[in-house]
Structure 1
Amino acid sequence: MSKNLLSALFGAAIAALALSPSVYAEGQELAEMHAEMDGCEACHADGEPSEDGEHEFEQCQSCHGALEEMDAVHQSHDGMLMCADCHMPHDSNVGDKPTCDSCHDDGRTAESASK
């Protein structure tokens, strides 16, 4: 195939994805959304939670990237927290964003933490 044809097909695919409605609705439970993708094994080894949460943490990072690669709010928690400490998949919904005051009571905000 020619490069122009491949470029056109790629561009059309990107446009179709950008214009298509999201498969996952705000308000849907995070765990449910992940289970729809690949069953409980999307996050859990053999579908069962690990004792220490390490396997699940590694699964998060395999799709979403490491905390050290994310924005300043995530970077400051690298080495101290696992994803599920803030983004509780069985207690949070798609679109929920934890706030600093979920854990900190000293007036921190995402904006102040990223400075």
Structure 2
Amino acid sequence: MMKRWLMVLLLGLGMAAGAQAADVLADIHADMAGCESCHADGEPSSDGAYENETCVGCHGGMTEIEGDQHAAHDGMLVCSDCHAVHEHTAAADASGACADCHDDK
């Protein structure tokens, strides 16, 4: 019985930590240098190109990032297509964005 409660507790803590991470993704980047850490002059660019280059400058390009989903979309997508930081999508939770384009089950 004690093991079951421990597993439930650990699962709950893991889910809470994931929810907390989802709430702070944009804030983590803003804490580095304000909005300018991602946006030129603190304002979004009209096409998102500056922001994508900023992502690549810190995190690497699609073929450099771990995970087949990145390399498979090299040249087709930009970071914000899946990682919508102002919608509080955590990097680890971006897989939900796949359904926007893919109907695979």
SS of the residue 2:28 aligns to: helix
Task: Give aligned-pair identity as a percent.
Answer: 49
Give the one of 18, 32, 36 matched to 2:31: 36
Q: Superposition RMSD on alpha carbons, in Å?
A: 1.7
Q: Which moved more, 1:89-98 or 1:44-53?
A: 89-98
Higher Cα Rg, which structure: 1
Letter in 2 for 1:104: H
The answer to whether residue 79 in structure 2 is matched with residue 80 in structure 1 is: no
Query: 1:27: Cα distance to partner?
Result: 3.4
Mapped contact 2:83–2:94 kept (Cα < 8 A): yes
Structure 2 gaps, min length 5 = 1-19
Mapped contact 1:29–1:90 kept (Cα < 8 A): no
Runs of 4+ in 1 over 4 A off after TM superposition: none
Structure 1 gaps, min length 5 = 1-24, 108-115
Mapped contact 2:83–2:91 kept (Cα < 8 A): no
Distance 1:79 1:95, change over 3 A: closer
* TM-score, structure 1 as length reference: 0.64
* TM-score, structure 2 as length reference: 0.70
Work out the CA distance in 2 between the residues paired with 1:88 and 1:53. 12
Mapped contact 2:26–2:86 kept (Cα < 8 A): yes
Structure number with higher helix proportion: 2
